[in-house]
Chain A
Amino acid sequence: MSTTIANLNVGEKGIIENIPYEMVPLKLLEMGCLPGKEVELIQIAPLNDPLYIKVNGSHLAIRKEMAQLIVITKRENLCETIKS
């Protein structure tokens, strides 16, 4: 199921499918946010923005507007599937 990082709930993970290179800074990629990498939403700031994510081993905070551009496939959380 394709969605964006901005639509993840805290604790959910996904695999990055597509990054619109024209619209994001090189720095984001250089810090490890790359297609094919797993991304996890760790925390959302109190006013719903920015987002605190873990991607490719890096812990980063990015704004929602940028997170909305990064397309991911949601990975169903195995543990939660087992529990329910």
Chain B
Amino acid sequence: MRDHQVIKVALVGNPNTGKSSLFNQLTGLNQKVSNYPGVTVEKKTGTAKLSNTTTAQIVDLPGTYSINPSSIDENIVLQSFLNAESEYPDVAVVVADVENLKRNLYLFSQIKDLEIPVILAINMSDQMKKKGITIDIDLLKQELNAEVLLISARKNIGIEALKGAIVNYKKINTSVIADIADRIDAEFFNKVKATFKEVSLYKAWLLITQYHNFSTIDHQLKIQIESFRKDSSSLKKMQNRETILRYQYINTILNKTYTVNVDEATGLRYKLDKILTHKIFGYIIFAGILMFIFQSIFEWTGSSMDFIDASFSQLSEFVKEILPEGVFADLLIDGVIPGIGGVVIFIPQIAILFLLVSILEETGYMSRVVFLMDKIMRRFGMSGKSVIPLISGTACSIPAIMAARNIEGWKERLITILVTPFTTCSARLPVYAIIIALVIPDKRIIGVFSLQGLTLMALYLLGFLAAVISGYLLHKVLKVNQKSFFVIEMPNYKLPSLKNVLFNVLEKTKSFVFGAGKIILALSIVLWFLASNGSELYENANAIVKKESVNLELSEDELNQKISSYKLEHSYIGMAGKMIEPAIKPLGYDWKIGIALLTSFAAREVFVSTLATIYSVEDEDNEDTIKERMAAEINQETGRKRFNFPVGMSLLMFYAFAMQCTGTLAIVKRETNSWKWPLLQLFGMTALAYVSALLTFTVLS
């Protein structure tokens, strides 16, 4: 197939237009998610077979209302059409929602003015009758001078026609739609035209107005652009004028081609809004949904997590049996397998959280939550839109911090990013679980509430409180001169599409597992290496211990154990633990806990597996034995249990506040584009952790 043709297609559109449904419909499972170079914005690409000789390579660009970006995600759309030469699309498909055609045509008019082939796909056309909408498609095509199609991605209507239109993209008229430059400022645009001869006029205009959004611009072009940027207030005036003129133009066309019979429009939206944003019921419903989310994260995942836990320890056992003893087997059994297990065990919780959050987003309910919570969150220096990161943070801060992108005000976004790691993420759970089991008695209060469960709930509340209070403090302290603003669309309510939700969950879970997985796995291997190598004393451990215990009449097991603890003490990691011991002694910890604290700075959940390694437990993944070992651990100085109530509570406080996650630090660095903020988090949160652990331990003991 020599003459096989590949067409590069870009899907563009407003949020909530069913763009993702169309993307899923066109590509099915032939899609992959990667990152745009240099930024963490997810790039969704996929392939679709258009005909026997043609394949489309489709990019699903982030949803946007305009090519003028107001967030990093939206900036990708601008970059795709202006910068990336190699990935420049052959044809753009603008997906529009039949109900909001006017606003969707605004974006369409901008893309069309780039003078590239554009197809307008009016989605959700199956709803037209119900909503009382009629469109004169032929006239609309003629007026827009473009290819226009009615489709319904969910009902699979018009998809074949769309594919046909993509195949024939070369026949699409590429003239500008709205020749409005002269009406904005003729003199200015004549100059622009004379200066930028190589690019289209609208492209030149975008280069001038969106100058700050481009990272790579050659020197010559830079000088040309700067000569037009002297008067920023008149530039903004021209942009406003452009917007008004575009809408005038669109209105004229829609008056001729689009009618909506208001009486037939159903009032479901208004009825639901009355209840869901009601001043009492609104909050009750939101609280109920939150409780349902937390309930499902814990109740529905217990057995599957136990299953994963058991499977990995069986796998370790199995590998131990089939492999000959040696370094490689040790690496697998003590390093790699528990490392992977430590990631996989979070999949059920993360998947359920993503499932519920993406259902709430698909239905349009999330926007109502933002509306309900904005005023409250503003007192704490955040925006209503911060609620989404704070909820997602209970699974993992990394995707949560990325979700803070659509907060417009820099200060509100920054505070959200800074406080999100306080929310109790799922990595803290295994730590909490084992310590609570050790130090909180398994009793019930008033017959119903389990004391251990209540402690866990209190820790969640503590996380939210810490987030909110530090938000308030940052709000008072931070001086940011950028004005914050807030505009959010309240989309129509929709039934979530199963396909979209499942694809979304699959994709997000996958990127979590691979993203966080790499760090945890690498760390487990490093940890294993540091624990199984050490100074001369380590190398000669066998001889030394045997010599020392010659008179003790130990059994072989006891002797081996003594050797392993001696080895640990003199391994590299043991030496590090000894080194920090003076600093953590006031908190009630010894050098062994110190090692676990150190390794936890890469990822919190490593705490349990580190202690497991340290207490040289044979079967690493069996929580009971780890717990038993921890319970049996004796404080050499007092002769009592190491993990008593004060130490346990002190550890809980430490883990509640400390910034122990390299993944989060890396994402904060990327999102804020500076080391200042992640370092502030690292030192600020850890100092808070240290002080609260110190106070807790001192008061309780």
Cross-chain contact B487 with A21 (CB below 8 angstroms): no
Cross-chain contact B277 with A27 (CB below 8 angstroms): no
Cross-chain contact A50 with B243 (CB below 8 angstroms): no
Count chain A CB atoms within 10 A of each CB in B243, B270, B376, B492 and give the residue with the most: B243
Q: In the assembled complex, which residues on chain A have CB atoms less than 8 Å from the CB atom of B367?
A: 61
Smallest Cβ distance from B72 to chain A, in angstroms? Answer: 15
Cross-chain contact B277 with A46 (CB below 8 angstroms): yes
The residue in chain A whose Cβ has the minimal distance to the Cβ of B488 is A61
Cross-chain contact A42 with B66 (CB below 8 angstroms): no
Q: Kindly identify which residue among B65, B244, B270 contacts A31, using a CB–CB cutoff of 8 Å.
A: B65
The residue in chain A whose Cβ has the minimal distance to the Cβ of B251 is A56
B320 within 8 A of A: no
B233 within 8 A of A: yes
Cross-chain contact A27 with B103 (CB below 8 angstroms): no
Smallest Cβ distance from B15 to chain A, in angstroms? Answer: 11
A66 to B277, CA, bound (A): 20
Cross-chain contact A58 with B103 (CB below 8 angstroms): yes
Q: In the assembled complex, which residues on chain A have CB atoms less than 8 Å from the CB atom of B274?
A: 43
A78 within 8 A of B: no
Cross-chain contact A57 with B371 (CB below 8 angstroms): no
The interface-forming segment of B234-242, B542-550, B659-667 is B234-242
Within 8 A of A (CB), among B369-407: 370-372, 374-376, 384
Cross-chain contact B102 with A32 (CB below 8 angstroms): yes
A82 within 8 A of B: no
A27 to B102, CA, bound (A): 15
Cross-chain contact A25 with B103 (CB below 8 angstroms): no
Smallest Cβ distance from A33 to chain B, in angstroms? Answer: 8
Given contacts A25-B408, A32-B103, A57-B103, contact A46 B283 (CB under 8 A): yes
Smallest Cβ distance from B366 to chain A, in angstroms? Answer: 12
Q: In the assembled complex, which residues on chain A have CB atoms less than 8 Å from the CB atom of B66?
A: 26-27, 30
Q: Kindly identify which residue among A34, A35, A60 contacts B489, using a CB–CB cutoff of 8 Å.
A: A60
Cross-chain contact B491 with A45 (CB below 8 angstroms): no
The number of residues on chain A lying at the interface, defined by a beta carbon within 8 Å of a beta carbon of chain B, is 31
Cross-chain contact A52 with B243 (CB below 8 angstroms): no
The residue in chain B whose Cβ has the minimal distance to the Cβ of A19 is B240
The residue in chain A whose Cβ has the minimal distance to the Cβ of B273 is A43
The residue in chain B whose Cβ has the minimal distance to the Cβ of A31 is B65
B490 within 8 A of A: yes
Count chain A CB atoms within 10 A of each CB in B100, B487, B488, B491 and give the residue with the most: B487
Cross-chain contact A63 with B374 (CB below 8 angstroms): yes
A29 to B376, CA, bound (A): 26
Cross-chain contact B102 with A28 (CB below 8 angstroms): no
A1 within 8 A of B: no
Cross-chain contact B103 with A31 (CB below 8 angstroms): yes
Smallest Cβ distance from A28 to chain B, in angstroms? Answer: 5
A80 within 8 A of B: no
A47 within 8 A of B: yes
The residue in chain B whose Cβ has the minimal distance to the Cβ of A56 is B102
The residue in chain A whose Cβ has the minimal distance to the Cβ of B282 is A46
Within 8 A of B (CB), among A3-58: 21-22, 24-32, 34-35, 42-43, 45-50, 52, 56-58
Given contacts A50-B374, A52-B277, A52-B490, contact A30 B243 (CB under 8 A): yes
Q: In the assembled complex, which residues on chain B have CB atoms less than 8 Å from the CB atom of A75?
A: none
Cross-chain contact B270 with A42 (CB below 8 angstroms): yes
Q: B611-650: contact bitstring with A at CB < 8 Å (1 yes, 0 no)?
A: 0000000000000000000000000000000000000000
Smallest Cβ distance from A12 to chain B, in angstroms? Answer: 15
B449 within 8 A of A: no
A23 to B89, CA, bound (A): 36
Q: In the assembled complex, which residues on chain A have CB atoms less than 8 Å from the CB atom of B372?
A: 45-46
Q: In the assembled complex, which residues on chain A have CB atoms less than 8 Å from the CB atom of B384?
A: 50
A interface majority secondary structure: loop
B interface, how many residues as a size bin? 35 or more
The residue in chain A whose Cβ has the minimal distance to the Cβ of B66 is A30
Q: Kindly identify which residue among A25, A28, A30, A45 contacts B371, using a CB–CB cutoff of 8 Å.
A: A45
Smallest Cβ distance from B88 to chain A, in angstroms? Answer: 24
Q: In the assembled complex, which residues on chain A have CB atoms less than 8 Å from the CB atom of B277?
A: 43, 45-46, 52
Smallest Cβ distance from B376 to chain A, in angstroms? Answer: 7
Cross-chain contact A60 with B244 (CB below 8 angstroms): no
Q: In the assembled complex, which residues on chain A have CB atoms less than 8 Å from the CB atom of B486?
A: 50, 61-63, 66
Q: Kindly identify which residue among A29, A57, A66 contacts B244, using a CB–CB cutoff of 8 Å.
A: A29
A57 to B131, CA, bound (A): 13
Q: In the assembled complex, which residues on chain B have CB atoms less than 8 Å from the CB atom of A30?
A: 65-66, 68, 106, 243
B328 within 8 A of A: no
Cross-chain contact A28 with B489 (CB below 8 angstroms): no
Q: In the assembled complex, which residues on chain B have CB atoms less than 8 Å from the CB atom of A59?
A: 269, 489-492
Cross-chain contact B485 with A45 (CB below 8 angstroms): no
Q: Kindly identify which residue among B233, B240, B273, B375 contacts A48, using a CB–CB cutoff of 8 Å.
A: B375
Q: In the assembled complex, which residues on chain A have CB atoms less than 8 Å from the CB atom of B371?
A: 45, 50, 52, 61
Cross-chain contact A32 with B247 (CB below 8 angstroms): yes
B279 within 8 A of A: yes
Given contacts A31-B489, A46-B283, contact A26 B68 (CB under 8 A): yes
Given contacts A30-B66, A46-B282, A50-B371, contact A35 B244 (CB under 8 A): yes
Cross-chain contact A62 with B487 (CB below 8 angstroms): yes
Q: Kindly identify which residue among B239, B283, B488 contacts A26, using a CB–CB cutoff of 8 Å.
A: B239
A50 to B370, CA, bound (A): 10
Q: In the assembled complex, which residues on chain B have CB atoms less than 8 Å from the CB atom of A42?
A: 270, 273
Given contacts A32-B103, A45-B371, contact A21 B489 (CB under 8 A): no
Smallest Cβ distance from A31 to chain B, in angstroms? Answer: 6
A50 to B486, CA, bound (A): 9
Given contacts A52-B371, A60-B487, A66-B485, contact A26 B236 (CB under 8 A): yes
Smallest Cβ distance from A53 to chain B, in angstroms? Answer: 9
A35 to B273, CA, bound (A): 27
Q: In the assembled complex, which residues on chain B have CB atoms less than 8 Å from the CB atom of A52?
A: 273, 277, 371, 490
Cross-chain contact B273 with A47 (CB below 8 angstroms): no
B470 within 8 A of A: no
A55 to B408, CA, bound (A): 21
B358 within 8 A of A: no
A58 to B68, CA, bound (A): 18
Count chain B CB atoms within 10 A of each CB in A27, A58, A66 and give the residue with the most: A27
Given known contacts A60-B487, A60-B488, what 12 new A-B pairs fall within 8 Å (CB)? A21-B237, A26-B68, A27-B408, A30-B66, A42-B270, A45-B375, A46-B282, A46-B283, A57-B103, A63-B485, A66-B485, A66-B487
9 cross-chain pairs, A with B, having the tightest CB-CB distances, nearest first = A46-B279, A47-B375, A59-B490, A30-B66, A29-B243, A21-B240, A49-B375, A63-B486, A61-B371
A-B contacts, 13 of them at CB < 8 A, read A25-B485, A27-B485, A28-B485, A29-B244, A32-B103, A43-B277, A46-B280, A58-B103, A59-B491, A61-B371, A61-B486, A62-B486, A63-B374
**A positions within 8 Å CB-CB of B:** 21-22, 24-32, 34-35, 42-43, 45-50, 52, 56-63, 66
